[in-house]
Structure 1
Amino acid sequence: MENDGAGLGGVIRDSEGEIVVLFSTEAPKEDIFMLELEAIYKGIQLASSRGYDRIWLESDSLVAVQIISDQVEPPWKSVKILQQIKEKISSFSSWKISHIWREANSAADYLSKRSCPLKGVDLPPTIATPELLAIIRDDCEGKKYIRL
Protein backbone atom coordinates (compact mmCIF):
# COMPACT_ATOMS: atom_id res chain seq x y z
CA MET A 1 0.00 0.00 0.00
CA GLU A 2 1.61 3.27 -1.07
CA ASN A 3 1.55 6.57 0.82
CA ASP A 4 -1.08 8.92 -0.61
CA GLY A 5 0.66 12.06 0.61
CA ALA A 6 0.30 11.36 4.32
CA GLY A 7 2.99 12.25 6.78
CA LEU A 8 4.26 11.33 10.20
CA GLY A 9 2.41 12.48 13.27
CA GLY A 10 2.28 11.81 16.95
CA VAL A 11 1.58 13.04 20.44
CA ILE A 12 3.90 12.60 23.39
CA ARG A 13 2.19 12.78 26.77
CA ASP A 14 3.62 12.57 30.26
CA SER A 15 2.54 10.03 32.88
CA GLU A 16 -0.36 12.32 33.86
CA GLY A 17 -1.65 12.37 30.28
CA GLU A 18 -0.62 15.98 29.68
CA ILE A 19 0.66 16.82 26.19
CA VAL A 20 4.41 17.40 26.17
CA VAL A 21 5.17 17.67 22.47
CA LEU A 22 3.54 17.12 19.09
CA PHE A 23 5.03 16.25 15.73
CA SER A 24 3.59 16.50 12.25
CA THR A 25 5.87 16.29 9.25
CA GLU A 26 5.80 15.46 5.58
CA ALA A 27 6.98 11.98 4.78
CA PRO A 28 8.70 10.52 1.76
CA LYS A 29 6.67 8.37 -0.60
CA GLU A 30 6.83 5.07 1.20
CA ASP A 31 4.49 2.30 2.10
CA ILE A 32 2.32 2.76 5.18
CA PHE A 33 4.14 0.15 7.26
CA MET A 34 7.46 1.96 6.85
CA LEU A 35 5.79 5.27 7.74
CA GLU A 36 4.47 3.68 10.94
CA LEU A 37 8.01 2.66 11.89
CA GLU A 38 9.33 6.14 11.02
CA ALA A 39 6.67 7.73 13.26
CA ILE A 40 7.55 5.37 16.13
CA TYR A 41 11.23 6.22 15.73
CA LYS A 42 10.50 9.96 15.63
CA GLY A 43 8.48 9.68 18.86
CA ILE A 44 11.27 7.73 20.56
CA GLN A 45 13.84 10.32 19.48
CA LEU A 46 11.72 13.17 20.85
CA ALA A 47 11.12 11.40 24.16
CA SER A 48 14.84 10.72 24.49
CA SER A 49 15.81 14.31 23.63
CA ARG A 50 13.47 15.53 26.37
CA GLY A 51 15.17 13.33 28.95
CA TYR A 52 12.47 10.76 29.54
CA ASP A 53 13.77 7.58 31.08
CA ARG A 54 10.67 5.38 30.67
CA ILE A 55 8.30 5.24 27.71
CA TRP A 56 5.13 3.53 26.63
CA LEU A 57 4.69 3.45 22.87
CA GLU A 58 1.27 2.99 21.34
CA SER A 59 0.79 2.33 17.65
CA ASP A 60 -2.24 1.51 15.56
CA SER A 61 -0.02 -0.76 13.46
CA LEU A 62 -0.34 -4.21 15.00
CA VAL A 63 2.39 -5.53 12.70
CA ALA A 64 4.83 -2.82 13.82
CA VAL A 65 4.09 -3.63 17.47
CA GLN A 66 4.59 -7.35 16.85
CA ILE A 67 7.85 -6.81 14.99
CA ILE A 68 9.32 -4.44 17.59
CA SER A 69 8.28 -6.94 20.29
CA ASP A 70 10.08 -9.74 18.38
CA GLN A 71 6.83 -11.69 17.91
CA VAL A 72 7.14 -11.87 14.13
CA GLU A 73 9.98 -11.59 11.63
CA PRO A 74 10.41 -8.17 9.99
CA PRO A 75 10.37 -7.65 6.26
CA TRP A 76 13.85 -7.09 4.86
CA LYS A 77 13.21 -3.45 3.96
CA SER A 78 12.53 -2.55 7.60
CA VAL A 79 15.73 -3.97 9.08
CA LYS A 80 17.62 -0.64 9.19
CA ILE A 81 14.86 1.39 10.87
CA LEU A 82 14.14 -1.48 13.29
CA GLN A 83 17.79 -1.55 14.27
CA GLN A 84 17.62 2.21 14.94
CA ILE A 85 14.40 1.82 16.96
CA LYS A 86 15.81 -0.99 19.10
CA GLU A 87 19.07 0.84 19.69
CA LYS A 88 17.23 3.97 20.83
CA ILE A 89 14.72 1.99 22.95
CA SER A 90 17.57 0.25 24.77
CA SER A 91 18.70 3.63 26.13
CA PHE A 92 15.55 3.88 28.28
CA SER A 93 15.45 2.27 31.73
CA SER A 94 12.10 0.72 30.83
CA TRP A 95 9.78 0.66 27.87
CA LYS A 96 6.75 -1.10 26.54
CA ILE A 97 4.85 -1.06 23.32
CA SER A 98 1.22 -1.86 22.73
CA HIS A 99 -1.30 -1.87 19.94
CA ILE A 100 -4.04 0.74 20.01
CA TRP A 101 -6.93 0.68 17.58
CA ARG A 102 -6.85 3.43 14.98
CA GLU A 103 -10.19 4.64 16.27
CA ALA A 104 -8.54 5.35 19.65
CA ASN A 105 -5.46 6.93 18.07
CA SER A 106 -7.15 9.68 16.11
CA ALA A 107 -4.80 12.43 17.35
CA ALA A 108 -1.80 10.80 15.63
CA ASP A 109 -3.98 10.16 12.58
CA TYR A 110 -4.97 13.85 12.50
CA LEU A 111 -1.34 14.98 12.80
CA SER A 112 -0.20 12.68 9.97
CA LYS A 113 -2.63 14.08 7.41
CA ARG A 114 -1.41 16.39 4.67
CA SER A 115 -4.25 18.77 5.56
CA CYS A 116 -3.06 19.14 9.18
CA PRO A 117 -2.49 22.88 9.82
CA LEU A 118 0.41 22.16 12.18
CA LYS A 119 3.80 21.21 10.77
CA GLY A 120 7.02 20.63 12.66
CA VAL A 121 9.03 18.07 14.58
CA ASP A 122 9.10 19.51 18.11
CA LEU A 123 5.86 21.44 18.44
CA PRO A 124 4.83 22.83 21.83
CA PRO A 125 1.37 21.80 23.03
CA THR A 126 0.37 25.46 23.22
CA ILE A 127 -0.03 25.62 19.44
CA ALA A 128 -2.51 22.74 19.28
CA THR A 129 -5.69 23.73 17.50
CA PRO A 130 -9.01 23.49 19.35
CA GLU A 131 -9.92 20.62 17.01
CA LEU A 132 -6.76 18.68 17.93
CA LEU A 133 -7.24 19.34 21.65
CA ALA A 134 -10.78 17.94 21.39
CA ILE A 135 -9.47 14.85 19.56
CA ILE A 136 -6.77 14.28 22.19
CA ARG A 137 -9.31 14.68 24.99
CA ASP A 138 -11.64 12.19 23.27
CA ASP A 139 -8.76 9.72 22.80
CA CYS A 140 -7.85 10.01 26.51
CA GLU A 141 -11.46 9.46 27.52
CA GLY A 142 -11.78 6.45 25.24
CA LYS A 143 -14.56 7.94 23.17
CA LYS A 144 -15.50 6.02 20.06
CA TYR A 145 -14.42 7.38 16.73
CA ILE A 146 -16.22 6.13 13.66
CA ARG A 147 -14.07 5.73 10.54
CA LEU A 148 -15.77 6.80 7.35
Structure 2
Amino acid sequence: MVALHCDGSLSAYRAAYGGIIHHATGDPILAYVGKGVETSVLSMELLAIHRGVALCLERDLQRVSIRSDSKLAVDIITGAVSCPWSVYVLKCQISSLLTQLTHLEVRHVWREPNQPADFVASIDNGDGETIIYPPDFPEDLMRLIHNDTDRKTYFRIP
Protein backbone atom coordinates (compact mmCIF):
# COMPACT_ATOMS: atom_id res chain seq x y z
CA MET A 1 0.00 0.00 0.00
CA VAL A 2 1.18 3.54 -0.72
CA ALA A 3 0.39 6.60 1.35
CA LEU A 4 -0.91 9.73 -0.32
CA HIS A 5 -0.46 12.78 1.90
CA CYS A 6 -2.23 15.79 0.41
CA ASP A 7 -2.86 19.39 1.32
CA GLY A 8 -4.45 22.55 0.01
CA SER A 9 -3.00 26.00 0.44
CA LEU A 10 -4.70 29.37 0.26
CA SER A 11 -3.14 32.77 0.81
CA ALA A 12 -3.99 36.31 -0.21
CA TYR A 13 -1.89 35.81 -3.36
CA ARG A 14 -2.22 32.17 -4.32
CA ALA A 15 -4.45 29.10 -4.23
CA ALA A 16 -2.58 25.81 -4.56
CA TYR A 17 -2.67 22.10 -3.89
CA GLY A 18 0.05 19.56 -3.40
CA GLY A 19 0.95 16.20 -2.05
CA ILE A 20 3.45 13.45 -1.74
CA ILE A 21 3.09 9.77 -2.53
CA HIS A 22 5.34 7.34 -0.69
CA HIS A 23 5.76 3.63 -0.09
CA ALA A 24 4.78 2.09 3.24
CA THR A 25 8.49 2.15 4.12
CA GLY A 26 8.42 5.94 3.87
CA ASP A 27 10.47 6.08 0.67
CA PRO A 28 9.01 8.83 -1.53
CA ILE A 29 7.75 8.07 -5.02
CA LEU A 30 6.89 11.60 -6.12
CA ALA A 31 5.51 14.94 -5.06
CA TYR A 32 3.14 17.18 -6.97
CA VAL A 33 2.14 20.82 -6.72
CA GLY A 34 -0.29 22.86 -8.75
CA LYS A 35 -1.89 26.25 -8.87
CA GLY A 36 -5.60 26.36 -8.22
CA VAL A 37 -8.20 28.76 -9.48
CA GLU A 38 -10.78 28.45 -6.71
CA THR A 39 -10.50 30.70 -3.68
CA SER A 40 -11.66 28.05 -1.24
CA VAL A 41 -9.30 26.03 0.90
CA LEU A 42 -11.78 23.12 0.79
CA SER A 43 -11.61 23.14 -3.01
CA MET A 44 -7.80 23.04 -2.84
CA GLU A 45 -7.87 20.20 -0.27
CA LEU A 46 -10.18 18.15 -2.50
CA LEU A 47 -8.20 19.00 -5.63
CA ALA A 48 -5.06 17.73 -3.86
CA ILE A 49 -6.84 14.43 -3.19
CA HIS A 50 -8.17 14.23 -6.75
CA ARG A 51 -4.76 14.82 -8.37
CA GLY A 52 -3.00 12.48 -5.96
CA VAL A 53 -5.40 9.61 -6.63
CA ALA A 54 -5.18 10.24 -10.38
CA LEU A 55 -1.36 10.13 -10.19
CA CYS A 56 -1.52 6.87 -8.24
CA LEU A 57 -3.78 5.30 -10.86
CA GLU A 58 -1.56 6.54 -13.71
CA ARG A 59 1.31 4.65 -12.05
CA ASP A 60 -0.78 1.52 -11.39
CA LEU A 61 -0.71 2.11 -7.63
CA GLN A 62 -4.10 0.72 -6.67
CA ARG A 63 -3.72 0.22 -2.93
CA VAL A 64 -3.83 3.73 -1.49
CA SER A 65 -4.10 5.25 1.97
CA ILE A 66 -5.25 8.85 1.56
CA ARG A 67 -4.17 11.11 4.40
CA SER A 68 -5.33 14.69 4.76
CA ASP A 69 -5.20 17.20 7.59
CA SER A 70 -8.59 18.52 6.47
CA LYS A 71 -11.19 16.73 8.57
CA LEU A 72 -13.92 18.24 6.41
CA ALA A 73 -12.38 16.91 3.18
CA VAL A 74 -12.03 13.44 4.74
CA ASP A 75 -15.63 13.53 5.99
CA ILE A 76 -16.88 14.57 2.54
CA ILE A 77 -14.94 11.76 0.80
CA THR A 78 -16.13 9.14 3.30
CA GLY A 79 -19.73 10.39 3.19
CA ALA A 80 -19.79 11.31 6.90
CA VAL A 81 -21.08 14.79 6.01
CA SER A 82 -23.03 16.23 3.11
CA CYS A 83 -21.01 17.82 0.38
CA PRO A 84 -21.44 21.55 -0.22
CA TRP A 85 -22.75 22.26 -3.71
CA SER A 86 -19.65 24.34 -4.50
CA VAL A 87 -17.45 21.21 -4.50
CA TYR A 88 -20.03 18.62 -5.51
CA VAL A 89 -18.63 18.03 -9.02
CA LEU A 90 -15.10 17.61 -7.66
CA LYS A 91 -16.36 15.18 -5.01
CA CYS A 92 -18.09 13.13 -7.72
CA GLN A 93 -14.90 13.05 -9.79
CA ILE A 94 -12.95 11.83 -6.75
CA SER A 95 -15.58 9.17 -6.02
CA SER A 96 -15.28 7.92 -9.60
CA LEU A 97 -11.49 7.61 -9.27
CA LEU A 98 -11.78 5.81 -5.93
CA THR A 99 -13.85 3.02 -7.51
CA GLN A 100 -10.77 2.14 -9.61
CA LEU A 101 -8.66 1.36 -6.53
CA THR A 102 -8.40 -2.21 -5.26
CA HIS A 103 -7.87 -1.09 -1.65
CA LEU A 104 -8.68 2.27 -0.12
CA GLU A 105 -8.20 3.90 3.23
CA VAL A 106 -9.08 7.53 3.96
CA ARG A 107 -7.67 8.98 7.16
CA HIS A 108 -7.60 12.34 8.87
CA VAL A 109 -4.11 13.12 10.14
CA TRP A 110 -2.93 15.99 12.28
CA ARG A 111 -1.14 18.90 10.66
CA GLU A 112 2.29 17.92 12.04
CA PRO A 113 2.57 14.50 10.32
CA ASN A 114 1.28 16.16 7.14
CA GLN A 115 4.14 18.69 7.01
CA PRO A 116 5.76 17.26 3.85
CA ALA A 117 2.49 17.72 1.92
CA ASP A 118 2.06 21.20 3.37
CA PHE A 119 5.61 22.07 2.30
CA VAL A 120 4.98 20.83 -1.24
CA ALA A 121 1.67 22.73 -1.53
CA SER A 122 3.49 25.94 -0.59
CA ILE A 123 6.07 25.65 -3.41
CA ASP A 124 5.46 28.42 -5.92
CA ASN A 125 5.70 26.63 -9.25
CA GLY A 126 4.05 29.38 -11.28
CA ASP A 127 1.03 28.27 -13.30
CA GLY A 128 0.03 24.70 -14.01
CA GLU A 129 1.23 21.59 -12.22
CA THR A 130 4.68 20.24 -11.49
CA ILE A 131 5.68 16.70 -10.58
CA ILE A 132 8.86 16.44 -8.54
CA TYR A 133 10.84 13.22 -8.16
CA PRO A 134 12.99 12.39 -5.10
CA PRO A 135 16.39 13.30 -6.62
CA ASP A 136 15.03 16.83 -7.13
CA PHE A 137 13.38 17.22 -3.72
CA PRO A 138 14.49 20.32 -1.80
CA GLU A 139 16.64 19.59 1.25
CA ASP A 140 13.94 20.95 3.61
CA LEU A 141 11.40 18.53 2.14
CA MET A 142 13.78 15.59 2.62
CA ARG A 143 14.26 16.60 6.26
CA LEU A 144 10.49 16.57 6.81
CA ILE A 145 10.20 13.18 5.10
CA HIS A 146 12.97 11.76 7.30
CA ASN A 147 11.19 13.09 10.40
CA ASP A 148 8.07 11.25 9.26
CA THR A 149 9.97 8.05 8.43
CA ASP A 150 11.72 8.19 11.80
CA ARG A 151 8.28 8.57 13.43
CA LYS A 152 9.12 11.87 15.05
CA THR A 153 6.87 12.57 18.01
CA TYR A 154 4.96 15.84 18.10
CA PHE A 155 3.33 17.28 21.18
CA ARG A 156 0.22 19.39 20.96
CA ILE A 157 -0.12 22.10 23.59
CA PRO A 158 -3.73 22.76 24.59
- Aligned in 2, Cα 1:120/1:75: closer, same or farther, shift over 3 Å? closer
CA offset digits 1:70-119 (Å, max 9, x no partner): 111111111100111010010011101000111210111111115579x9
Give the TM-score of the pair, scaled to structure 1: 0.88
Residues in 1 aligned to 2:55 and 2:31: alpha-carbon distance in whole angstroms: 9
Deviation at 1:124, TM superposition (A): 1.2
Task: Determine if the alignment matches structure 1 residue 45 to structure 2 residue 54.
Answer: yes
1:59 to 41, 44, 68: 68
In percent, how many aligned pairs have the same letter?
25
Instruction: Give the corresponding residue for 1:16.
Output: 25
1:142 aligns with 2:125: no
Greater strand proportion: 2
Paired with 2:65 and 2:100, the residues of 1 have a C-alpha distance of 14
**Structure 1 Cα separation of the partners of residues 40 and 20 of structure 2:** 21
What residue is the counterpart of 1:128 in the other structure?
137
Give the deviation of 1:122 after TM superposition: 2.5
Report the number of matched residues.
144
Runs of 4+ in 1 over 3 A off after TM superposition: 114-117
1:69 paired with 2:78, answer yes
Paired residue for 1:106?
A: 115
C-alpha RMSD over aligned residues = 2.2
Partners of 2:152 and 2:83 lie apart in 1 by 31
Q: Which residue of 24, 30, 35 maps to 1:26?
A: 35
